[in-house]
Amino acid sequence: MSGCPYFQAKLLPSSKQHLTEDENNDSQTGVNKASKGGILYGDYLQLDKIVTSQVLQSELKGNKIHDEHLFIVTHQAYELWFKQVLWELDSVREIFISGHVRDERNMLKVNTRINRIVMIFRLLLDQFAVLETMTALDFFDFREYLSPASGFQSLQFRLLENKIGVPHNQRVPYNRRHYRDNFRGQESELLLRSEQQELTLLQLVEQWLERTPGLEEGGFNFWGKLQTNIFKGLDGEKEKIEQETESETKEEMMAEFIKHRDVFLSLFDDKRHDHLLSTGQRRLSYKALKGALMIYFYREEPRFQVPFQLLTSLMDIDTLMTKWRYNHVCMVHRMIGSKAGTGGSSGYQYLRSTVSDRYKVFVDLFNLADFLVPREWVPKMNPTEHSFLYTAECCDSSYCSSDDSD
């Protein structure tokens, strides 16, 4: 059977027992179960499908190029992980869509899965280092056999963009015009649905933010209180500057103050927000923005701790996607210089144009940093009066506690 000690020519029987420390202890006990029936590893993972799907075009055309195998496997690994990201993303969207997110016990699940997406993207970023072991010269040897296949035709990548919330009209022109051309039949329908009908993660998070406790004008009235505090604080700052003796420094300080004040004036100007929304520079509704700022300022309150982690993870997704795009750009530039892409785009130049805030879905969360204020200006909470910070909603009639693992 297995383990015949005389199998190897060179060795003497007395030679094998040198490292005796763990030969006879419990770590080596056990019975091999594989022969007892039941699904085995290779079947469980359908490895017969996975491990036979590497067909080199260069080999089919009679000119097998070694490095094409790496090219194929790398892209297949990316697509496997895209599938996993979509799995997690859809499950989170479902929790929001079905209303289950109103039971705040589901926040752990939401957070964990969004964070998992972040971890996968980190891995996908590291993965470039492996493909970068291929030289441009070696790529040149088989690139001709690839045409017109191109990453531009990756369905999962487009689904990902759409379901997170990349808006169609924000895509750069070449992307906007052509990206749907690559898909037909069922794929095309799926894509269209994800773009136009289904609620994106951005939209679902927007609705959730609008429901942030504390925004109610008849309740805590966060926005009203904040506005009052900020302008009181600004008045105080202005007075201090005015008390200074006339000098160049005083003028500079006053100019700085005015800039500072204008930023806050814009914060409370809802018409300005609508304008920025229409130009695509803002993506969240005014009310959702208020909710996000509330969560930022009161992140240490028990009820907002996990929501704050969620907002942070959403920004991580944007950051990692844009780093992914940039890593991709750098590698493509090295591989093909300024040549056109196999799919027909201008190649490097096109890809470079997609490394842009147009593709930043949660851009508003980043920009909230414009409106941070000293801690003393943040409206004070009174635990006895404002108990909503401690009391989560944990019962929703449409949802029963721990039934759905999904």
Q: Is 314 exposed, middle or buried (0-12, 13-18, 19+ CB in 10 A)?
A: buried
Closest CA to 230 of 285, 288, 297, 300: 297
Site string for another protein, 274-303 (x = CB under 8 A): ---xxxxx----------------------
Q: Select the span of 243-251, 258-266, 271-279, 297-305 touching another protein (CB under 8 A).
A: 271-279
Q: Which residue has 């020519």 as its token pair?
A: 9
The contact pattern for another protein, residues 28-47, with x = CB under 8 A and - = no contact, is xxxxxxxxxxxxxxxxxxxx
Residue 346 interacts with another protein (CB under 8 A): yes or no: yes
User: Per-residue x/- marks for another protein, 144-183, CB under 8 A?
Assistant: --xxxxxxxxxxx----------xxxx-xxx-xxxxxxx-
Q: Interface with another protein includes 349 (CB under 8 A)?
A: yes
Six-digit token string for 391: 């009391």
CA 216 from centre of chain: 30
CB nearer another protein, residue 294 or residue 351: 351
49 binds another protein (CB under 8 A): yes
Minimum distance from CB of 306 to another protein (Å)?
15
Instruction: Give the 3-state secondary structure of residue 267.
Output: helix
62 binds another protein (CB under 8 A): no
φ/ψ of residue 182, rounded to 5: -75, -10
Determine which residue in the list 15, 249, 387, 391 makes contact with another protein, applying CB under 8 A. Answer: 15
Told to check if 227 binds another protein by CB under 8 A, we report no
User: What is the identity of the amino acid at 339?
Assistant: K
* Residues binding another protein: number (CB under 8 A): 123
Determine the Cα–Cα distance for residues 155 and 79; give it in Å rounded to an integer: 9
Among 52, 197, 245, 247, binds another protein (CB under 8 A): 52
Give the count of beta carbons closer than 10 Å to the beta carbon of residue 283. Answer: 21
Q: How many angstroms separate the CA atoms of 367 and 267, rounded? A: 11
**For the residues of 46-80, what is the DSSP string, one character each?**
THHHHTT----HHHHTT---TTHHHHHHHHHHHHH
53/387 with CB nearer another protein: 53
Q: What Rg, from alpha-carbon coordinates, does the chain have? A: 29
Nearest approach in angstroms of CB 19 to another protein is 6
Of the ranges 141-149, 204-212, 287-295, 296-304, which one interacts with another protein (CB under 8 A)?
Answer: 141-149
Measured from the CB atom, is 140 or 366 closer to another protein?
Answer: 140
Smallest gap from residue 316 Cβ to another protein (A): 13
74's tokens: 């790398």
What gap in Å lies between CA 210 and CA 215, rounded to an integer? 8
Measure the CA–CA gap between 99 and 121, rounded to whole angstroms. Answer: 27
Residues 81-140 within binding reach of another protein (CB under 8 A): 81, 83-84, 87-88, 91, 112, 115-116, 119-120, 122-123, 126-127, 129-130, 133
Instruction: Lay out the site mask for another protein across 184-203 (x = CB under 8 A, - = otherwise).
Output: ------------x-------
Sign of the CA dihedral running 87, 93, 98, 100: positive
Contact between 273 and 289 under an 8 Å Cβ cutoff? The reply is: yes
> Quick one: 85 or 378, whose CB is closer to another protein?
85
Identity of the residue numbered 344: G
DSSP 157-194: HHHHHHHHT--GGGS-HHHHHHGGGG--HHHHHHHHII
Nearer to another protein, 80 or 263 (CB): 80
Residue 2 Cβ vs another protein, minimum distance, rounded to whole Å: 4
Choose one: 19-27, 234-242, 256-264, 362-370; the region binding another protein (CB under 8 A). 19-27
Distance between terminal CA atoms of the chain? 45
DSSP conformational letter for 118: H
Can residue 9 be called a binding residue for another protein (CB under 8 A)? no
Least Cβ distance, residue 100 to another protein (angstroms) = 13
* Residue among 255, 258, 340, 372 that touches another protein (CB under 8 A): 340
Stretch that binds another protein, among 70-78, 214-222, 304-312, 328-336 (CB under 8 A): 70-78
- Contact status: 367 vs another protein (CB under 8 A): no
Rounded Cα–Cα distance for residues 344 and 92 (Å):
35
Stretch that binds another protein, among 14-22, 219-227, 236-244, 290-298 (CB under 8 A): 14-22
Angle at 7 between CA 3 and CA 11, to 5 degrees: 110
Whichever of 213 and 341 has its CB closer to another protein, that residue is 341
